[in-house]
Amino acid sequence: MCDMRSRTISFTLNGRPVTAEVTPHQNIVEMLQTQFALFGARESCGQGLCGCCTVLIDGKPVSGCLTLAIFLDGMELITIEGLVASGRLDPIQQAFIDCGAFQCGYCTPGFVLMTKALLSQNSDPSDAEIRDWLSGNLCRCGAYPEILSAVKTAARAIKRAATG
Q: Which is nearer to another protein, 52 or 56 (by Cβ)?
A: 52
Contact between 158 and another protein per CB under 8 A:
no
Identify the helix (H) or strand (E) that includes residue 28: helix 28-36
Q: Is 44 in the site for another protein (CB under 8 A)?
A: yes
State which of residues 12, 21, 35, 49 lies at the interface with another protein (CB under 8 A). Answer: 49
Binder among 18, 66, 75, 89 for another protein (CB under 8 A):
89
Cβ–Cβ under 8 Å, residues 54 and 45: no
**Interface with another protein (CB under 8 A), residue from 7, 15, 58, 140:** 140
Report the amino acid identity of residue 3.
Answer: D
Which residue number, 128 or 163, has a Cβ lying nearer to another protein? 128
Return d(Cα 57, Cα 124) in angstroms, integer. 23
Nearer to another protein, 38 or 119 (CB): 38
| β-pairing verdict for 7-13 and 76-78 | parallel
Q: Give SS3 for 70.
A: helix
Helix (H) or strand (E) holding 18: strand 16-22
Please tell me the distance from the alpha carbon of residue 103 to that of residue 57, in angstroms, as a whole number. 27
Q: Which stretch binds another protein (CB under 8 A): 9-17, 33-41, 67-75, 154-162?
A: 33-41
Task: For residues 159 and 46, give the distance between their C-alpha atoms in angstroms, rounded to a whole number.
Answer: 35
| Least distance in angstroms from the C-beta of 52 to another protein | 6
Q: Is 79 in the site for another protein (CB under 8 A)?
A: yes
Using an 8 Å Cβ cutoff, are 107 and 52 in contact?
A: yes
Contacts with another protein by CB under 8 A lie at 25, 33, 38-47, 49-50, 52, 79-81, 83-84, 89, 93-94, 96-98, 100, 102-109, 112, 130-131, 134-135, 137-148
